[in-house]
Every structure is written in structure tokens, then in C-alpha cells.
């Protein structure tokens, strides 16, 4: 036995499953793969389209226009004094989009990559990570759109006199990370579960849409609490509500801010992410037998 121990094996393949079996050295080794996946996602999506990456602009713009028409002009949801409804909605949609695309795009990781996963080994977590990173670039572009309109409303119109960024802005990068972790975590959980139970995949499509209505994207949380106080906990404890409210507070100065909210999002997104990682890890070892 002693002689065997002295042999240093690089790694061992066995049936034993550690709870968290993340080899960070290995993930680091495959960092080029992550970047190449990102590159693939970016350059292939809009190949042979005329407008190309312009589609990144068009989708949130049109959605915001429709939301403003329906929810603000028609239904009369107030977005706060001195805050243009369009800007309010654009802020909500921009931040929601990042979370939503991360969730949807990672939720079929196993199924979509079955062909690759079945033939070659690399740390599987690279794939959802690359999705989150490539979505980050799209998010960046959409953020630019938001900034553009922000500048337009603040400097060229008199409608946005109340909109001003707050000092809480320093937490903005962290907020993005939490959004990504939330989407990634949930996506990994769903992809691990749908691996065996395909039922869930039917839920993801419209579930994400429903969740959007429960995440204060097109209304302020305070307005919901005022109108439907008995259901407000549903929206209030939804971490994405907090994320979007924080996003709007940081950029537009609407809503309230407390360090407790920030902490809440941090804790929830980390828990979901870790939980996702554990399930994902458990699944990746033998998913090819059950997919």
C-alpha cells in the first residue's frame, strides 16, 4: 500500500462523487476554450443577417416602447415624478434581459451540448460560464443604448429633471455579478433537472416571461405594494425585483435603497449559484447515460 501511495497520479477517474468537485486549476487551464465559446456565440448569432448586432439595440427599444404605451400610457402606472416612463422601462428591461437570457441560455446546457459532451471531456461548467460571459457583452451593448437615451432625456429634454445617478452606483459592478450568478445558478439547476425530466423545459419558456411580471420590470415595487398589498410579498422577496429596483435606484435615483436589499441579493444569488453548481456537478458525471 505504501508503495502505491508514493506514486503520484495526476488524477483519478472513479465513481465516487464529491459534493463540490470543482478543479479550479483545470477550469483555468481551459480558459481559452471559454473565450472561444464566447467568440463563437457572438460571431455566429448574427452571421448572414443584414442588421447584425443592431438587433441587440432593437429588441429592448421596441419592448420599452410597447411597455410604455401599454403600462404607462394606457394602464397609467406611475413611474415617478420627473422620470420618463420610457427610461424607467428601458432600465427594467435592460437589467431583466441579462438575467433572463442567462437563465434561458444556460437552462438547456446539457441537451444542447449533448453532442460535444458525449465525445470530449472538459470541465462542463465552462459552457454555462461562457454563456454568461457572452451575454455580458450583449448586456454591455444594451447598457450603451440605455446610457444613450439617458443622456438624451437628461440633457436634451426637460422631462427627466428628477433622474440622477446616486452614489450607490459604486455597487453597480457587483449588481451585474449577482444578476449573472442568479441567472447562471437557476439555469444550471434547470439544465440539471431537465436532463432527466424533460417536463421542466416546457416551463422555462413561459415561466421566465411570467417571472418578468413578478419582478417589477414595468412597475415600481412601491406601486405594487400600494395596489395589491396582500400579494406584495411575492414580488418583494423575488431577488430579481430587488436587483431591478437597485438598478433603477443606482441609475435613475428612483425607489428606495438599503444595504439590507443589497445583502439580500448577494446572499440569495450566492446560495442559488452554489446550489446550481452542486447539482450541475452531480449531473455532469453521468448525464450522458440519462440525457
Contact footprint for another protein (CB under 8 A)? 3, 7-15, 17, 29-30, 32-33, 35-37, 39-40, 43-44, 47-48, 115-122, 196-199, 285-286, 288-291
| Interaxial angle between packed helices 172-196 and 126-156, expressed in degrees from 0 to 180 and rounded to the nearest 10 | 140
Give the HSE-up count for residue 288: Cα atoms under 13 Å, Cβ half-sphere: 11
- Cβ atoms of 250 and 175 closer than 8 Å: yes
Nearer to another protein by Cβ, of 198 and 227: the residue is 198
Q: Which is nearer to another protein, 3 or 20 (CB)?
A: 3
Residue closer to another protein by CB (options 11, 24) is 11
CB of 174 to another protein, least distance (A): 30
Cα dihedral 224, 173, 274, 269, rounded to 10, equals: -10
Cβ 149 vs Cβ 238: under 8 Å:
no
End-to-end Cα separation, the chain, in angstroms: 39
Rounded to a whole number of angstroms, the minimum distance from the CB of residue 65 to another protein is 31
Q: Are residues 23 and 123 in contact, defined by beta-carbon separation less than 8 angstroms?
A: yes
> Smallest gap, in angstroms, from Cβ of residue 8 to another protein?
7
Residue-wise DSSP of 171-236? GHHHHHHHHHHHHHHHHHHHHHHHHH-THHHHHHHHHHHHHHHTTTSSS-HHHHHHH-GGGHHHHH
Please report how close the Cβ of residue 57 comes to another protein at its closest, in angstroms.
Answer: 22
**Which is closer to another protein, CB of 199 or CB of 230?**
199
Residue with cell 433622474: 163
| Least gap, CB of 279 to another protein (angstroms) | 15
Closer to another protein at the Cβ: 16 or 230? 16
Amino acid at each position: 500500500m505504501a508503495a502505491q501511495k508514493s506514486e503520484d497520479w495526476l488524477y483519478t477517474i472513479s465513481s465516487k462523487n464529491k459534493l463540490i468537485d470543482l478543479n479550479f486549476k483545470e477550469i483555468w487551464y481551459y480558459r481559452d476554450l471559454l473565450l472561444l465559446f464566447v467568440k463563437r456565440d457572438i460571431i455566429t448569432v448574427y452571421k448572414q443577417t443584414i442588421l447584425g448586432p443592431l438587433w441587440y439595440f432593437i429588441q429592448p427599444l421596441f419592448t420599452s416602447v410597447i411597455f410604455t404605451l401599454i403600462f404607462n400610457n394606457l394602464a397609467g402606472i406611475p413611474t415617478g415624478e420627473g422620470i420618463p416612463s420610457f427610461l424607467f422601462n428601458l432600465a427594467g428591461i435592460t437589467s431583466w434581459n441579462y438575467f433572463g437570457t442567462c437563465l434561458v441560455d444556460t437552462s438547456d446546457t446539457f441537451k444542447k451540448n449533448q453532442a460535444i459532451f458525449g465525445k470530449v471531456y472538459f470541465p462542463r461548467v465552462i459552457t454555462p460560464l461562457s454563456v454568461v460571459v457572452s451575454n455580458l457583452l450583449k448586456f454591455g451593448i444594451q447598457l450603451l443604448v440605455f446610457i444613450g437615451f439617458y443622456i438624451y432625456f437628461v440633457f436634451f429634454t426637460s422631462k427627466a429633471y428628477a433622474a440622477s445617478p446616486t452614489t450607490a452606483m459604486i455597487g453597480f459592478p457587483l449588481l451585474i455579478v449577482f444578476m449573472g450568478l442568479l441567472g447562471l445558478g437557476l439555469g444550471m439547476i434547470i439544465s440539471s433537472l431537465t436532463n432527466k425530466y424533460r417536463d421542466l423545459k416546457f416551463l422555462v419558456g413561459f415561466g421566465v416571461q411570467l417571472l418578468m411580471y413578478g419582478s417589477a420590470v414595468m412597475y415600481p415595487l412601491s406601486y405594487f405594494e400600494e395596489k395589491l398589498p396582500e400579494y406584495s410579498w411575492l414580488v418583494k422577496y423575488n431577488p430579481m425585483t430587488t436587483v431591478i429596483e437597485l438598478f433603477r435606484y443606482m441609475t435613475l435615483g428612483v425607489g428606495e435603497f438599503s444595504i439590507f436589499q443589497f445583502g439580500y441579493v448577494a446572499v440569495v444569488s450566492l446560495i442559488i449559484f452554489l446550489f446550481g453548481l452542486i447539482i450541475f456537478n452531480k449531473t455532469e458525471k453521468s448525464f450522458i447515460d440519462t440525457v
